[in-house]
Amino acid sequence: MPADSPAGRVDAEDVDEPTPHSARFIRLATVDDVRVELARVYRETRSLKLAPDLGSKLTYMLVQLARVTEVVTVERRLREIEELLKQGVRHGLEQHKE
The rounded distance, in Å, linking the Cα atoms of 15 and 22 is: 14
Residue 49 confidence (pLDDT): 97
Q: Judge whether 56 lies within some domain.
A: yes
Short-list 67, 48, 69, 45, CA closest to 56: 45
pTM for the whole thing?
Answer: 0.64
- Condensed to tens digits (0 to 9), the pLDDT of residues 24-80 reads 789 999 999 999 999 999 999 999 999 999 999 999 999 999 999 999 999 999 999
Q: Work out the burial of residue 45: count CB atoms within 10 Å of its CB; fewer than 13 is exposed, 13-18 middle, 19 or more buried.
A: buried
Q: What single letter denotes the amino acid at residue 66?
A: A
Residue 5 lies in a domain: no
Boundaries of domain holding 81 = 17-86
**Domain count of the fold of the chain:** 1
